[in-house]
Each structure stands twice: as structure tokens, then as C-alpha cells.
Amino acid sequence: MSPRTDDLRNRVRDRYAAAATAAINGTSATCCGVSADGEAQEMGISGGFGAELYTGEDRDSLPADALAASLGCGNPLAVAELNDGETVLDLGSGGGIDVLLSARRVGPTGTVYGVDITDEMLTLARANAVKAGASNVEFIKGTMEAVPLADESIDVVISNCVINLSTDKAAVLAEAHRLLRPGGRFGVSDVVADDHLDAAQRAERGSYVGCVAGALSIGEYRDGLTAAGFTDISITLTHHVADGMHSAIVRARKPGSDACCGVTACCTPTEQAVDRTTTIGASEIAGGCGCVS
């Protein structure tokens, strides 16, 4: 890792540690809008960040500290369309707002993991999970580029305004692809740049830790997802965050290339339904599987 990469990652970690401390102390912040000493700070970008992007019902169901630590630029729960029993991973889970909301949607038979590099955020998130009574969640320390979970163990990868902070976005997208089961879904909110803006122009519009300078362009995001092996890619702009910079909904799918008859590992003891909302038997019958008598 280069000195510049180390420096950027440390700056991101320090800023989010300060945001977690601010939340515990009763200070809310917009995306990266907290100074190193935990004081509120103007970012020079428009609104459209934080807990305001969630419905009133969702906000009312969450601990106050989870809302105060919300630094996102969208609502990935509105993107991912989660189902009962699914396993979800939130990249850069922060204070846990999206993990806790996901836990309600996947129900007691589902599991939601949150991965974060910041000890202060992990401590805050675990405390928020206890306050929310969420028993089907787990917060783990790690990076988005190397998540300590098994291959093909996740149904849905979500993230909220965090992938733009990575110094190796190709590795993040490849890691998401590794973790997803065949047919798994990638549904995130993130900041993206218009294609005509180069890196220097993006940096003029905001800092790296301010969720702006490190953002991919729309074309770069699409190309990165394609290179990682994703299909069914869509990028939908939702609102303006700076000149030529937007919050966006990014969706993609991992192909189910090893599937037949609606299941993976067809006619073996390890087969699973590609559509995790239905049973193996129902999938086999619908797909005309020859194993069904």
C-alpha cells in the first residue's frame, strides 16, 4: 500500500471515528461533516445526506445514536428489496442504521453483517443493536477490500455512501462479487460524478473524506462492475450533491451461471434455490427439474 493510500485511509478512519464520538455526545453530522475534534463542520456541498433520507417510520424505529451517526447519501434499503431469510452484508456499516433496518426486513431467519474499519463505529453499532433488540446482526472489523466472510455466503450486498471512500474500488467490487451467491444482488447508494469531470475537477468540488473527490464517474462505476463480473447493471441519479456530482442508486447482479432448474448445484445435497424467497422444491418444480419425482 502506498503512503498516499495509507494517508487517505487514515484520514477516513479518523473522520468517522470523530463522527461516532460526536453521535455518542449528542451531535448529529451530515456526510463527513465533523471535524477531527468532533465539532460540526460545513462541507461546502448541498444537503441530501444523513437520516433525513429515511422514512419517518424507519427513523422512529431506531436508537437516537444510530440516527445521529447516519452519514449516508441515500437509503439502500429502498434499493435492495430485501426478503425474509436472506443474508445481507453492509459495506461500511458505520453506526448500524442500515444493518438494523435490514434486520427487520429479513426477519429472524435472516442474518445481517456489517463490516467497518473504525473501532469507534463498531462499538457504537453494537450498542445500537442492543438498544434495538436486534439479535440477527453481527458487526465485524475489516475493510471493504478484504471482508472476513466466506465465498458465496451473501444474498445481498448493500452500502451507503462508502464505496467512494475506498482507495481501491476495483477490489471492493471484486470482493462483493466473491461474497455473493450466484444470482445475488448488489444494491448501493453512492456518490458519482458526471463522466466529463476528471479527478482534479472532482477534487475541486469537495474533499476525499467528504465523499466527493474519490467518487467514480458514472461510466467508471459501470465499467468497474462489468470488470468484476456483474450483469444487469443500472445507475440511477437521485439528487444533486455538488456541481456535476450526484447521489445515485447502483444496482447489479451476480450471474447464476451454475444454476439450472432454478437451483444451484442441481440434484446434489448442496443445492439451493437461486430465488432465496422460495423453496428448493418449488424452484425445481417451476423449472421442470428431472430430480423431482
Could you tell me the pLDDT band of residue 125, with boundaries at 50, 70 and 90? very high
Spatial distance between the Cα atoms of 23 and 30, rounded to a whole number of angstroms: 11
The reply to whether 60 and 131 lie within a common domain is yes
The reply to whether 222 and 203 lie within a common domain is yes
The reply to whether 134 and 243 lie within a common domain is yes
Long-range (24+ apart) CB contacts under 8 A made by 229-235 are 229/174, 229/177, 229/254, 229/255, 230/173, 230/177, 230/186, 230/254, 231/255, 235/192
The answer to whether the predicted template modeling score (pTM) of the entire model surpasses 0.85 is no
Could you tell me the pLDDT band of residue 242, with boundaries at 50, 70 and 90? confident
% the chain with pLDDT above 90: 45
Spatial distance between the Cα atoms of 225 and 169, rounded to a whole number of angstroms: 10
Integer-rounded Cα radius of gyration of the chain: 19
The reply to whether 281 and 239 lie within a common domain is no
Write out pLDDT tens, residues 173-211: 999 999 999 999 999 999 999 999 998 888 877 654 455
The reply to whether 28 and 115 lie within a common domain is yes
The reply to whether 271 and 150 lie within a common domain is no
Spatial distance between the Cα atoms of 250 and 222, rounded to a whole number of angstroms: 9
Could you tell me the pLDDT band of residue 137, with boundaries at 50, 70 and 90? very high
Task: List the domain range (segments joined by +) for residue 207.
Answer: 3-253
Instruction: Please state the domain count of the chain.
Output: 2
The reply to whether 59 and 195 lie within a common domain is yes
